[in-house]
A and B are shown apart, each in its own frame.
Chain A
Amino acid sequence: MANFRIQRYDPEKDSRPYFQTYEVPVEQGMSILDCLFYIKERLDATLSFRASCRMGICGSCAMYINGLPRLACETQATSLATDTIEVRPLPNYEIIKDLVVDLSPLFEKHQRVRPWIIPYELEELDRPTKEYVQSPAELEKYLQFAYCLKCGLCLAACPTMATDNEFIGPQALAQAFRYNSDTRDGGDAERIAVVDTLHGLWRCHMAGACAEVCPKGVDPALAIQLMKREAVFGKKKERARLVDPRCGVTPLPGIPKAPEPTVKRSEGKR
């Protein structure tokens, strides 16, 4: 049996957050999210929290568990090695209710760095005609940063975010680096203009907390330092080659023919 000390707060009713304690029969294999579902289903249906995939993919259940920002679905209750488990909403965000926080600043800052491929040839963006060729080595340069879930744990852990709301934050900066390192992308100048600012790259104090808490092993602190170097010394970037898409490929023996598309493309439409 574990005591769950959970921070409760409903801005429409409560003047300030308070803690409520629940007893949960914790068993081997139960995640914190399982415990929260137990509380919601059997003890207190008014408890609010966000969750979706339950397997560390969606990043919805990010919370502040026993003093660290973590994903509730990836944190085993027994791994905390204590009978008292404190669950609070993520710091550095506004609370919507109980453990649900407002992630809009995260997404707004993420969007600000243009987290998509901006091709060199704009025609290819609107009407792609060819395929980009990228080597495994080129993929490796940004791959770890592409694992970002947008869970927001890094912003909750960042001490700079705690003092500077304007700071773009480790998540968005890491994504700026991820796209700037992509050989298919030609939007470096646009992103550098956004991040090479007083509240961008140069606001990072290199505490490294973002890298410590990332559930996917992304290292935003590394991305920020590498991008600082690029901002100062510039960067010579390889361009991915555009090649004609392969067509008329003969399938290997034994591979069945692909079924016909169920939706027919109408003439003239792409």
Chain B
Amino acid sequence: MRESRYWILSLGAAVCLVVLLGIHLSIMHLDTLLAYLGVVNADPLHYQAVMARGRSGGWVLAYILLLAFGLYHGLYGLRSVLSEVVSPTGQRLLTWAVVAVGFIAFTWGTYVVIKSSLMGGV
């Protein structure tokens, strides 16, 4: 595939990350700010809240998508940086190493999210 396609995918992943991370940040870390603005949520780190998100299909999907987009965007950037310093003979190895790391991390992360969901919540 042409490099521009990988680059567009990276940009697309970045846009999705902005949306997903925005949701994540506003719910998990900006609850005080939201409360100040009049949006009062229960403590997102409370056991019941965590369990509820783990059981929710929408949250499971959001976690998996966040993982996929984050891994793709981050590993594409890492490959771009490392490709400048890796020798020409090591370029193919670099690409495969990045793909392997991404695949393992995605499989592991997805397993954790789904397993937790099946167990009734994180």
**Docked complex Cα distance between A160 and B81 (Å):** 11
Total residues of chain B contacting the partner, CB 8 A? 11
- The answer to whether B83 has its CB under 8 Å from any CB of chain A is yes
- 11 of the cross-chain contacts (CB-CB < 8 Å) are A160-B84, A163-B85, A164-B83, A166-B91, A192-B2, A197-B3, A198-B91, A201-B3, A201-B4, A203-B83, A232-B7
Q: A202-B80, A232-B8 are in contact. Are A196 and B3 (CB under 8 A)?
A: yes
Secondary structure call for the B interface: helix
CB distance from A90 to the nearest CB of B (A): 20
Report A101-157 residues with CB < 8 Å from chain B CB: none
CB distance from A224 to the nearest CB of B (A): 13
- The answer to whether A170 has its CB under 8 Å from any CB of chain B is no
CB distance from A223 to the nearest CB of B (A): 16
- The answer to whether B58 has its CB under 8 Å from any CB of chain A is no
A164 lies within 8 A of B84 (CB) = yes
B84 lies within 8 A of A202 (CB) = no
Q: Which residues of B contact A8 (CB under 8 A)?
A: none
Tell me the nearest residue of chain B to A230, going by C-beta: B4
Total residues of chain A contacting the partner, CB 8 A? 18
**Docked complex Cα distance between A202 and B7 (Å):** 8
**Docked complex Cα distance between A228 and B11 (Å):** 14
**Docked complex Cα distance between A201 and B85 (Å):** 17
**Docked complex Cα distance between A165 and B88 (Å):** 9
Q: Which residues of B contact A232 (CB under 8 A)?
A: 4, 7-8
Report A184-229 residues with CB < 8 Å from chain B CB: 192-193, 196-203, 228
- The answer to whether A24 has its CB under 8 Å from any CB of chain B is no
- The answer to whether A51 has its CB under 8 Å from any CB of chain B is no
